[in-house]
Structures are given as C-alpha cells and as structure tokens.
C-alpha cells in the first residue's frame, strides 16, 4: 500500500509540472466556478459585450454597450451556453437602463449602467449573482485577479465560440499611467486615466488575450468571488498594455440605498484578497 501511494504521489507531481496542469495555469475556460454570474449582451444577433449579474434582475455593465440603439434590439444571455443565442440557458430582453451617477466614479472613458432584465433567471448552481465588495483600502497591488476575454482573431460580427478566463495582476494607477504615457498613440493621460481608475497588467502568460468590454474583474476574498471593477475601453490597444477598469467600491453606498437585494461584502484589513 505504501509503494502504491508513493507512485501515485509521483504521478501527481509530474502532472503538476506539465503545461496546462496545476494551480499555476494562467489561461482557462472554466474558472472561477464556471463564471455563473457572467452575462453576454447581444445587439440583435451580434455579440456586443459582457456584464455581471449582481441580483436576480440586474446586470452591471457599460452604458457604451447600448449606445443609441433601442432597447428592444438587445438580448442578455446567461448560463454556461450564453454565447450561443439558440442554446443559452436563459435569454432576456432589457426592460430599462439605470445609469450610475457619474459623480460617484470619475469615468470619462465610459460610464456604468444597470440593465434590468425582463425575464429574471431562476438562481441555481449555474446562474447566480456575484457579490460586490466595499472599501478600497485592501487593494493589494501585484495580487492576481481574473477577467474574461477573447483571442485576437475574434470577429465582432460573429458571436465568439468561447471566452477565456485569464489571470490579471493588479497594478497601481501610477505605474499604469506611466506605461500609457510611453505610448505615442495614446491620448493625454489626464483624459485616459481618471482618478480612481483600477488597472491590471496584461493577462499572465497570455498577453494575446484581449479582455472583453464590460467584463467583470473578479478576485477571491474571504472564501468567495467578489466584483472589483468593470472593463472599459482602454485609451489605446496593443498587446502587452495594462487593462483599465471602472472600480466598483465608490458606488456601493448608492447601490445599497437603491438596490437592497444586491449582496455586498464588507472589506476588512485583516482579510486579504487571494490569488485563485
């Protein structure tokens, strides 16, 4: 029995050292927890952007996703098959949009909005909302969080067959701004990097992945996944540049006042965000 156990341990160790195995895998299609809070937003049959389910009837995303098109042209897909409108677990039209006041987040490149679903999903193991996290003092630069994106050959007129989850290292705004300032095709940093902007480095070990607009930035905190930010259009696009997000923590008081059913986790200096 001891010999068998020893052999099994050696096999496990070898698997952990092989590419594509083990906890250090940087690129995957099914983490964290198969992304049950993710919502894919379509304009007619064309993939538009991502969002995050924060209650049974509300999705948070970017107002830019909707533009000036009538709401009747938009469909929100939920569940693990959400990228396929014919086979998605839940499809819903958008009943209304509630913009989050810009005074709460200085986000000139784009604003956050809450989209109300006309057909709220039943909450189950494959579809359930993400928790928000209150407070900003615990942001641990250089820790790794997660976002979703697609590979460079993605055609926006054809729904992607899959989105990939990628690990994203948190970065201070100072370092993020300095990197963009070195890019000749970027606009003024005063315009592109408002106060409070949340940044990450490019995806770990997979810089070719481009984070989807509206994709939630997720971290593992106190035993659960929490929403830190929402991807906005970056000041300029090129492989290897930081990704830019609108932070969630400044809007938490407004969310709690107007949407009491949204679950908010209180950040603590004692509990730290963990890489997952």
Collapse the DSSP code of 14 into the 3-class scheme (helix H, G, I; strand E, B; otherwise coil) and give the result: helix
Fold of 131-250: Thrombin, subunit H (2.40.10)
Per-residue pLDDT of the chain (276 residues; tens, 9 = 90+): 444 334 333 333 222 222 322 223 345 554 565 689 999 999 998 899 999 999 999 999 999 899 899 999 999 999 988 988 888 899 999 999 999 887 777 644 458 999 999 999 998 888 999 999 877 655 555 678 898 888 767 676 776 777 888 888 898 888 888 888 887 777 655 555 666 778 888 887 666 777 888 999 998 887 888 999 998 866 666 667 888 888 888 889 999 999 999 999 876 645 555 555
The pLDDT assigned to 192 comes to 54
- Indicate the domain borders of the chain: 38-117, 131-250
Measured CA to CA in angstroms, residue 135 lies from 222, 267, 269 at distances of: 14, 6, 10
Fold of 38-117: Thrombin, subunit H (2.40.10)
**Based on C-alpha coordinates, what's the Rg of the chain?**
19
Q: Given this chain, do its domains 38-117 and 131-250 carry the same CATH topology?
A: yes
């Amino acid at each position: 029995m001891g010999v068998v156990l020893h052999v099994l341990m050696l096999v496990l160790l070898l698997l952990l050292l092989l590419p594509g195995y083990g906890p250090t895998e940087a690129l995957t299609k099914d983490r964290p927890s198969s992304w049950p809070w993710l919502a894919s937003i379509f304009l007619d049959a064309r993939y538009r952007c991502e969002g995050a389910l924060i209650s049974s009837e509300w999705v948070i995303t970017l107002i830019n996703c909707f533009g000036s098109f009538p709401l009747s042209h938009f469909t929100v897909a939920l569940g693990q098959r959400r990228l396929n409108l014919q086979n998605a677990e839940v499809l819903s039209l958008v009943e209304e949009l509630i913009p989050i006041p810009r005074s709460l987040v200085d986000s000139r490149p784009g604003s956050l909005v809450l989209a109300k679903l006309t057909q709220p999903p039943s909450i189950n193991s494959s579809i359930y909302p993400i928790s928000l996290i209150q407070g900003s003092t615990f942001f641990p630069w250089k820790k790794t969080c997660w976002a979703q994106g697609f590979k460079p050959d993605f055609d926006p007129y054809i729904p992607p067959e899959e989105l990939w989850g990628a690990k994203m290292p948190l970065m201070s705004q100072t370092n993020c701004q300095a990197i963009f300032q070195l890019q000749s095709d970027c606009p003024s940093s005063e315009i592109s990097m408002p106060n409070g902007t949340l940044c990450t480095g490019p995806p770990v070990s997979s810089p070719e992945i481009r984070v989807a607009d509206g994709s939630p930035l997720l971290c593992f905190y106190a035993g659960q996944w929490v929403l830190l930010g929402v991807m906005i259009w970056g000041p300029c696009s090129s492989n290897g540049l930081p990704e830019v997000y609108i932070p969630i923590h400044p809007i938490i008081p407004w969310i709690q006042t107007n949407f009491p059913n949204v679950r908010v986790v209180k950040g603590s200096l004692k509990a730290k965000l963990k890489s997952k």
